[in-house]
Amino acid sequence: MARYIGSRWQQQGLDQVHFVPYQVLLSYPSPTIPNLIKILDSAGQVVWVSAAKQKPLYAPEEASPDIPFTFIGYSAPANVTGDVVYVYYGREEDFDFVAASGVDISGKIVLARYGAIFRSNIVEMAEARGGIGVILYSDPEDYAPEGSNFVYPHSYYMPPSAAPFGTIKLLDGDPLTPYYPATESAFRIPEDEAPLPKIPAQCISYEDAWQILSRMGGPAAPEKWQGSLNVTYNIGPGLRESGWSLNLDVNNNNTMTTTYNVVGVMTGQEEPDRYVVLGNHYDAWLFGGLDPNSGTAAMLELSRVFTQLRNETGWRPRRSLVFCAWGAEEYGTVGSVEWTEQFAKQLSDRTVAYLNVDMAIEGNYTLRTKSTPLLTDVVFESAKKIANPDPLELEAGRKSVYDTWVVRRPDPNEPGLPLMQFIGSGSDYKGFQHNIGIPCMDTRYTHDNSTIGEPQYHTLYETFALASEIYDKGFHYHTAVAAMWGDLAVVLSESKVLPFSLVKYSNFISKAQDDIIERFGPLINSQNISLEHFTNAGKAINESVTNFNKALEYLDLKSALAVRRVNDQLMMFERAFIDPRGLPGRPEYNHVITAPSKNDAYSGTAFAGLIDTLSAIEEAQEEHRNDLWRTFAHHLAAVTHLLNTAAKVLTDDLW
């Protein structure tokens, strides 16, 4: 696929096309021995065994002999037998509930539902509590709300045989080369020191999950925990039949692999040393009909359009456009993180923004966009320009994707505006946003709320047919996302003055500060820790932004150096929030505002270092609180320092 993308870019005539290799540790299922879950009776005889592969249902390629055995990336290879415990979504509060019910996870196999948090966090918590294995499935309640007849290929809902793959590595990037690029000359830590799970995990379909759930003993799970499989969901531990047990046999291998990023450049006319980076990964767990190929198609179309425009009109963007096709994203943003580690200095000095499209579509309901507050306005403006791909919406008078977005996903806190999600993590912007502090955006067309996620995500059924026959006949939604992505790239590379919304960021910070004070103020005050400097730093940003914007009105747009100066200040604003020492206990995250909470790498939480520490204090035993308060006070001072830095980078003040 890398070769295909590279040769397309060469054909199209990008100015530079290069393959950037990394030697990384990836995880594969055994080619010969399937990963299986078995129910054993008291004599050890096999009562039931799970499917080794997902069943072909519709598209011819689903029956390909090349389909690998069902597996979870980086699961430890192991064969464990024990009692099973149902932990709902496997969130911290779910594990706590199970423990409070008197069920000890230790020595047990955990059965968890996908959908509320990042699967790596489920496995991490299971391991931390002594679990010996994890089984993950998607409940039809969340992914097949219309029953098992109205599923793929009759709809985009999840069929009973679907088993979503995924990684359970916690840290992004190559596991053996933390902080440094996995080049030939890299130093590699021993594999047993790598932050990888030590217990096996396996995904199964919901028809297989039924086999287990329908046999489970112990007390019934709470009403909320009941899914839509036709059984009573019990917590366990173990199966109803005395002496029966569950066996989990995983035969994965961690293997050193060369993964390639493909980097293509259209060199800028006036500021070739300023980059607008567009990225999408090309690796897929199986066919990747949506993830990532809907995005990859959009990127190839964009590079085609830009090169054709250049060829036909001589146009070039003011700044350079850098197209990146990432390898091994599915394993935990491996290709992009290694690249941002290798080129951190140049990217930090020169990159205006990173625009990520992981999948162009995961539905056809509305736009779903995440970004740093700095890009909110420019995304809104682009979305207003893009013709609505939905004929019913057009009929309803909503001409642009923005119009549908604001109706279907309004911002609950900002009446009249669509919801711009906070950036969080979970795709290739991680290294850009959270380590370097490059303003990032991630967009796609998404589904409605009838499912938690896109139902075929990471399964065998994420086929071209799913994209072209079920979600997007005629590829109108793909086109809309490509058009918006391209418009953003043009605006960011062509605008003389970078169209960043400093005011949005400043307001965002103030609101996040208020939220912390509202939620934790009394707790913090009880320690005589003052928040005054922290809130003053927020005000300093507000004031600095006001002054900067006022001065912008008098900017001499004819002076190349004067324009460059304000653009450099705008460019460095997001960088100001980077702490080279990282968040408390999490040196792999450097951005003190946008780093996600450690309890769920997918979601966005502002000031996660502060909030995670405060949450830990609330839950900690008395004897651990002093250390946590010290951590909090230390990090609060670091955050305050960086907020003040952000206020200063908009000036030439060195005092």
> What are the φ/ψ torsions at residue 356 (nearest 5 degrees)?
-105, 135
Smallest gap from residue 354 Cβ to its own copies (A): 12
* First-residue to last-residue Cα distance in the chain: 52
Determine the Cα angle at 591 with ends 590 and 595, to 5°.
100
362 vs 123, 164, 383, CA distance in Å?
25, 15, 18
Q: How far apart are CA 170 and CA 118, in angstroms?
A: 9
Sign for the CA dihedral angle at 320, 321, 324, 325 comes to negative
Smallest gap from residue 116 Cβ to its own copies (A): 34
Cβ nearer to its own copies, comparing 392 with 561? 561
Q: How far apart are CA 283 and CA 323, in angstroms?
A: 16
Q: How far apart are CA 574 and CA 156, in angstroms?
A: 39
Q: How far apart are CA 580 and CA 217, in angstroms?
A: 50
Smallest gap from residue 301 Cβ to its own copies (A): 22
Helical residues (DSSP H) of 247-292, grouped into ranges: none
Smallest gap from residue 296 Cβ to its own copies (A): 19
Task: Tally helices (H) and strands (E) across the chain.
Answer: 19, 16
Q: Look up residue 201 and give its two tokens.
A: 């995990």
> What are the φ/ψ torsions at residue 94 (nearest 5 degrees)?
-70, -45
Cβ neighbours of 147 (radius 10 Å): 10
Q: Is 135 helix (H, G, I), strand (E, B) or coil?
A: strand
Contact criterion met (CB below 8 Å) for 462 and 340: no
What does the CA dihedral 280, 282, 285, 286 come to, rounded to 10 degrees?
A: 130
Q: How far apart are CA 444 and CA 379, in angstroms?
A: 12
Please name the residue that has the structure tokens 């909503």: 398
Q: How far apart are CA 166 and CA 459, in angstroms?
A: 9
Smallest gap from residue 269 Cβ to its own copies (A): 10
Give the residue among 101, 361, 112 at the shortest CA–CA distance from 212.
Answer: 112
**In terms of C-beta density within 10 A (0-12 exposed, 13-18 middle, 19 or more buried), how is residue 195 classed?**
middle
CA atoms in the 13 A half-sphere facing the CB of 253: 9
Residues known to be catalytic? 329, 530, 568, 591
Q: How far apart are CA 295 and CA 330, in angstroms?
A: 14
Q: How far apart are CA 428 and CA 358, in angstroms?
A: 8
Smallest gap from residue 637 Cβ to its own copies (A): 4
Please name the residue that has the structure tokens 């150096």: 561
Smallest gap from residue 273 Cβ to its own copies (A): 5
Cβ nearer to its own copies, comparing 269 with 510? 269
Chain positions contacting its own copies, by CB under 8 A: 16, 18-20, 179-181, 183-187, 263, 265, 267, 270-273, 275, 320, 322, 339, 342-343, 345-347, 349, 533-534, 537, 560-561, 564-565, 568-569, 572, 575-576, 580-581, 633-634, 636-638, 640-641, 644-645, 648-649, 652-655
Contact criterion met (CB below 8 Å) for 515 and 469: no
Smallest gap from residue 549 Cβ to its own copies (A): 18
Contacts of 100 (CB under 8 A, 6+ apart): none
